[in-house]
Structure 1
Amino acid sequence: MKRFVWLGLVGGLVACGSDSNVEPQACPGTAGMVLPPATMASAYQGEAAPPADGTEAVIITFRQRVFATAKANTDAFAEDVTRAGGQVKQRIPSLNMVSARVSPQMREALARNPDVVSVSPDREVRALGMMQRPMSPQAWLGAEPKPEPNRQGSVGEYTQGLKMVKADKIWDANADGILDEGRPTGTGIKVCVVDSGWDNRHPELKAAFIGGKDFIHGSANALALDARVDSQGNVVVWGGGHGTHTAATIAAQLGAGGKVRLGDDPNGTVGVAPTASLLVARVLNETGTGSTTNVITALEWCQEQGANIVSLSLGAASKNAAEELAFDTAKANGVLTIAATGNSGGAQVSFPAGYASVVGVGAVNFAGEWAAFSQYGDGTNLVGPGVGVLSATIVGGAPYGEVDANGQQFASNPLEYSALGTYSGRLVDCGLGASVTDCGEGATCEGFLAYVDRGGGILFEEKVRNAIRAGAKAVIIGNHTADEGAGNFTLNAPSERWVPTVSVSLESANVLRGMIGTQVALDVSGLDYALQTGTSMATPHVSGVAALVWSLDPQRLTSEQVRSALIDTADDLGPTGWDQNYGSGLVNAEKAVDFAERLLTPPAP
């Protein structure tokens, strides 16, 4: 029995035909099957094409004028831009800023205006997680009652990252899976996650969420979903889950698990500060990109909502005068901002992490070794776990495969862009998958499960395409390299023609070859948790520890005291003192909380 739930609809696979224009044994409906022309990954890497009218997006910062209100000031600034021929896009009254589209000549004219402080590019910002886009099946967007925070779960929810920063030692000293009474857990602290939004269906985040705003669509969507939503509020497509992952690293709930991998704790994961409150500002679109203007306006919104901490797992390569002013202003207003240093491995951190007002966070692996992709240099204040970090993702968005043959289960990895679904059928040897005719005895247009060997200089998508044309309704690819396990492979791009497809290890492949001709079941499911890598993943660990520290006494502690507690107590991992790779070291919740407790303790008489 088969069940396809996303990209697994393969039409027309019935009895074999005899069309002379197609390869022998190609099934009707598959002869014209072609490979998708582009990869989804390219959407993350490609730069936006310049506009045809030759204008550019800029942010203009003006000097303060003597008007009754900030709005009146900004209205006057907008008039200056319009008179110069520019097209005003957005006004930011609190910072005397206007974003606009202008020509190079208009930009020069504005720069000569004595009332203009700076004209900065409204540059692109990007998510700083190095993950592949997960599968994101369509789902109904429904409103559900907001649950109360749960104080009881299980120690199996404690991820490697959480234990590495010693957060569990703060609120579960006896390791019983229950939050200790009277200990800081994040209560009373608002953390604003400026990212790609969140999945409101995920059980880990429902209790923590207190409000959001979508700056991508310019809508009043208080959910700030990690999704594209139509005019009726229906989800058109879910995003990649970057914001969901970072938010859950901060504040996932105890005992509130979603769908997990077989053998993992059914309660899912727990965040560093599990009772902190989450504000969500969506500034990154479905491809992980956004604008400087939206970052600035989101930062302003976070402050208006009373955020104590703003966590930003995003950045751009260059400084920006308007953006720097916005972050300096946030610091002056008592807000602690924390941002990722970037993933290019270069000796210049991304911005906003590089501004003096922001805590810049690099990444280490679970052995405490600097991650080679982590950008370094001035602006690196701390590091956190950022390699293979487990956290929540879009519901059903993380692919997971199970192979069952004669009651024996085999570990497998779905290929990127595999269809979700289950299929049980006769296992047929399709060799290297070089052509339709590689599938031997048992191949039929009525369906079978193809076994294909890796290798031969043939791309995976070609192997799978040929198996589908021969009638396969699911595909297993056997790895030929022992040290790679099941491997991590791709079908190159999404397509409605793909079927459930997984890869297995060399050891499993050797066993499965001996089962050719038997009934084998394959299930590719979508899980609610994913491993992701990047300084994006390190940053929310630091933000979560900051929330723990601040929740000791939200009224008496200041942002500067919390910042000092994080930096001054970090575990020194590199050369003694600050260094360009590790900054001051790995954030340590135990030491940071102890530091803050001493600040709050009055000196002995």
Structure 2
Amino acid sequence: MRRLVLLSLLGMGACVKDPPTDLVQQEQPVCPDLVVRDASEEPKALANRASARLDLVPVASSGTDTVAEGAQPVIVRFRSKAGMRTAAALRQREDKVKSLGARVKYHWPELDTLALSLTPEAQARLAADPEVLSVSPDRVVRAMDMASGAFVTSAATTPSPLGSTSEYTYGVKMTRAQEVWDPDNQGVLKPGAPNGSGIRVCVIDSGMDVRHPELMAAYVAGKDFIDGDDNPEDKDADGNWGGGHGTHVAGTIVAQLGLHGTVNPNDASLSPEGMVGVAPGAELYVARVLDTSGGGRTTDVMAALKWCHEEVHAHIASLSLGSPDRDDAEEALFQRYFAEGMLSFAASGNGGATATETSRIYPGAYESVVAVGAVDSELKHPEFSQGGDYLDLVAPGVNIYSTYPQGRSPYASLSAGDTFYNSSSFDFVPFEEYEGTLVDCGVGDGLRSCTADAAATCDGFVAYVDRGGDIRFSDKVKNVRSQGARAVIVGNNDPKDDATLAFTLGSAATWPPVTAIPTTLVPTFKGLVGSKVRVGIRGSDYALSTGTSMATPHVAGVAALVWSARPSLTNKQVKEILENSAKHLGEQNGTGRNNVFGYGLVQAKDAVELAQKWVP
């Protein structure tokens, strides 16, 4: 797991003295044309975010929700009255709000609810209307993790039957999903075994890469509630990709056995054959409700839920998102659709401690939604996973390997001659490669730190810098870049960080390729000074990610297996089967659960066996 930000500043608490003013005036960049410019100076700079992350920070909304100066997105609920759902009555209701300057975004007649944009003054006038039950903010929801043109595919999905057991991630094996559809452990979907076939799963998230090789066979249709079209790709209007959250979630559910995209060949711990989802036979529907920053609105979630239920007729909805604020209209919709047969799963949240009444995450905390928390690979409770009396189940959620938008997951490629070396890419660096002479620049603490070596010219070289020296990584790179470095290698100085090397440059800019090497390789590269080395950042189609976002699709996938094993079950029965077959973790209370692990770790094999003999 990459630890963004935590390692981005070195010696923050140390006192770093400013150099004398006259020295600052004398020391100018050797290569002014190569000075790093930040994103505001270079808006089209190619930069990427690290592929493995723990994203716990709330994101801002897109800022595109208002339609008039001062207008704010709100949810308006009317009091239910007989005769108020006729066509004439509904038009009268819409005319009333439009007379106040509102634009109607959504209208749910069955809930007597509208989504609008109104100024605060208009909101006050509407709230005073005796027919209005409430006017509340259209709250921001966010992801729970730490392509242009419409895409059409067949409505009939056929899972790929042949593959390799190397595709079985630790998450799949911990949930025992592969024991359901590959009981002989041969890397093959056993004919007739439950694999999610016939079950429609709706992923309500940030959209996804619909052309990913692992997902195309399962993908049936999508809806984009951010852009208002039928192409749910995780892109903005300029074609820039978002964080890949929805693609990662979808892969955990339906990634295909035997089909794979481009993998990182330098990491022997990951399968060269890609990965497989918990329920590779399920049908995938995608509703995009989060923008490329990971933020969205409650009303888009509600509209997506309605699409999943009324148009897709989904059995299952998976929502790796949430808000700390309860919303009555949203709760009513989840309850209505649960009563009508759909089963929804949502992340419990990444707040860590046991939730209080004011820190619960919704929709996970609604009674009609199954709340999912996380465990790590050792069945331990990760400190970020939020629990409480609303937590139902847990699943793997730490360092989960899954699909990512194609070519967007960065990995480092570092070599000298024919020898490749283990290294890690920095956050925000571009997908580029450069070969040049290696120059030792010390700790990179000045604008002349490399110039003692004759190879350090503006024509280009590869800078080696040591970690440390009470200077930020970003400043090290800026310093050596301004002396002609076209690529940078950072040598780690703390063995405890060798396993992750999760470093960041802090923000997007015109960075060169930057990689980090473990302490064990530092002597080797100091010995290579003066030799040619090649530094590159390439992109794979998979990523590691952490959060209750990653746990949620594991449970949704197991539910699909249970339902495909016995399609006559109701959603309530599927929920009860998951709870009754879960592996208990921690000390249970009188209800068979606890606030840290809920009913326990979801277990696919036991759940399917219980479903097959379940007596309603």
Question: How would you bin the TM-score normalised by the shorter chain?
Answer: 0.7 to 0.9
Aligned length: 564
Cα–Cα, structure 1 residues 164 and 449, in superposed 2: closer, same or farther, change >3 Å?
A: same
- Provide closer, same or farther for how the CA distance between residues 493 and 71 of structure 1 changes in structure 2, counting only shifts above 3 A: farther
Aligned to 2:277: 271
Give the whole-Å Cα distance in 1 for the aligned partners of 2:86 and 2:547: 39
8 A contact 1:216–1:285 mirrored in 2: yes
Other-structure match for 2:235: 227
Amino acid at match of 2:245: H
CA separation of 1:387 and 1:72: change in aligned 2, threshold 3 A? farther
Would you say the 8 A contact 2:491–2:518 is kept in 1?
Answer: yes
Q: Among residues 234, 242, 246, which one is paired with 2:245 in the alignment?
A: 242
Report whether the alignment pairs 1:592 with 2:598: no
1:523 aligns with 2:527: no
Aligned to 1:573: 585
Task: Give the corresponding residue for 2:176.
Answer: 166
Alignment of 1:423-572 (within 5 A): 423-439=434-450, 440-441=452-453, 442-485=455-498, 487-495=501-509, 497-554=510-567, 556-572=568-584
The residue that corresponds to 2:224 in the other structure is: 214
Using the alignment, how far apart are the partners of 2:553 and 2:56 within structure 1?
25
Q: SS at 1:239's partner residue?
A: coil
Note if 1:342 corresponds to 2:333.
no
In the TM superposition, residue 500 of structure 1 has moved relative to its aligned partner by 1.1
CA deviations on 1:233-275 (whole Å, 9 max, x unpaired) are xxx1111100000001000011111111213333201000001
Q: Secondary structure at the match of 2:162?
A: coil
Secondary structure class of the residue paired with 1:464: helix
Give 1:398-417 correspondences, 5 Å limit.
398-417=409-428
Counterpart contact for 1:449–1:476, Cα < 8 Å = yes
Q: Which amino acid is 2:506 matched to?
A: N
**Displacement, 1:23?**
4.0
Partner of 2:313: 306
CA separation of 1:96 and 1:430: change in aligned 2, threshold 3 A? same
Q: Tell me, in whole angstroms, the C-alpha distance in 1 between the residues paired with 2:596 and 2:408.
A: 33
Structure 1 residues without counterparts, runs of 5 or longer:
1-19, 131-138, 231-235
> TM-score, length-normalised on structure 2?
0.86
The alignment status of 1:62 with 2:78, answered yes or no, reads yes
Q: What amino acid sits opposite 1:570 in the alignment? A: A
CA offset digits 1:94-121 (Å, max 9, x no partner) = 4321111234454344344343333332
Q: What fraction of aligned residue pairs are identical, expressed as a percent?
A: 43
In structure 1, C-alpha distance between the alignment counterparts of 2:185 and 2:564, rounded to whole Å: 21
Q: Which residue of 2 aligns with 1:200?
A: 210
Of 401-410 and 319-328, more deviation after overlay is shown by 401-410
Q: Which moved more, 1:40-49 or 1:526-535?
A: 40-49
1:190–1:276 Cα contact (<8 Å) kept: yes
- Code of the residue aligned with 1:26 in structure 2: it is V
Change (3 A) 1:70 1:471: farther
- CA gap of 1:142–1:360, structure 2 versus 1, over 3 A, is closer
Which of 359, 376, 391 in structure 2 is aligned with 1:365? Answer: 376
Displacement after TM superposition at 1:44 (Å)? 6.1
Relative to structure 1, is the Cα distance of residues 70 and 194 closer, same or farther in structure 2, using a 3 angstrom cutoff?
farther
For the 8 Å contact 2:158–2:281, the answer to whether it is kept is no
Q: CA separation in 2, counterparts of 1:203 and 1:597?
A: 33
Q: 1:25 to 1:99 in 2, by over 3 A?
A: closer
SS at match of 1:26: coil
Distance 2:303 2:482 in 1: 51
Q: What one-letter code is carried by the residue in structure 1 that aligns with 2:381?
A: W
Equivalent residues in 2 for 1:48-127 (5 A)?
53-67=69-83, 72-84=88-100, 86-127=102-143
TM-score in terms of structure 1 length:
0.88
| Structure 1 residues 71 and 181: CA distance shift in structure 2, 3 A | farther
Which is worse superposed, 397-406 or 140-149?
140-149
Q: Out of 11, 31, 34, which is 1:27 matched to?
A: 31
- Quote the offset at 1:423 in angstroms: 1.6
- Which whole-Å CA distance do the structure 2 matches of 1:477 and 1:438 have between them? 14
Moved more, 433-442 or 172-181: 433-442
Alignment-mate amino acid for residue 557 of structure 1: L
Q: Give the C-alpha shift of residue 70 in structure 1.
A: 6.0
- 1:322 equivalent in alignment to 2:329: yes
Answer yes or no: is the 8 Å Cα contact 1:361–1:539 preserved in 2. Answer: yes
Indicate if the aligned counterparts of 1:185 and 1:548 stay in contact, CA closer than 8 A.
yes
Which segments of 5 or more consecutive residues in structure 2 lack a partner in the other structure? 1-23, 42-46, 50-54
Q: 1:74 to 1:151 in 2, by over 3 A?
A: farther
Structure 1: distance between partners of 2:86 and 2:570: 27
**Per the alignment, do residues 22 and 250 of structure 1 end up closer, same or farther by CA in structure 2, a change over 3 Å counting?**
farther
User: What's the Cα RMSD here?
Assistant: 2.6
After superposition, give the CA deviation of every residue in 1:320-342 in whole Å (9 maximum; x if it has no partner): 11110110111011000000011
Are 1:289 and 2:303 matched, yes or no?
no
**Range with bigger deviation, 381-390 or 433-442:** 433-442
CA distance in 2, matches of 1:434, 1:428: 15
- The offset of 1:85, in angstroms, is 5.1
Measure, in 1, the Cα distance between the counterparts of 2:56 and 2:582: 37
State the secondary structure of the residue aligned to 2:614: helix
User: What CA deviation, in whole Å up to 9, does each residue of 1:341-398 have, x standing for no partner?
Assistant: 1112143230000000000001111111111111111211011111110000111111
Please report how far the alpha carbon of residue 144 of structure 1 lies from its aligned counterpart in structure 2 after TM superposition: 8.7
- Is the contact between residue 56 and residue 144 of structure 2 (CA under 8 Å) also seen in structure 1? no
Which string of whole-angstrom CA distances, capped at 9 and with x for unpartnered residues, describes residues 195-249 of structure 1? 000102210110111110000112x2x231111246xxxxx11111000000010
SS at match of 1:450: strand
Q: Measure, in 2, the Cα distance between the counterparts of 1:211 and 1:57.
A: 28
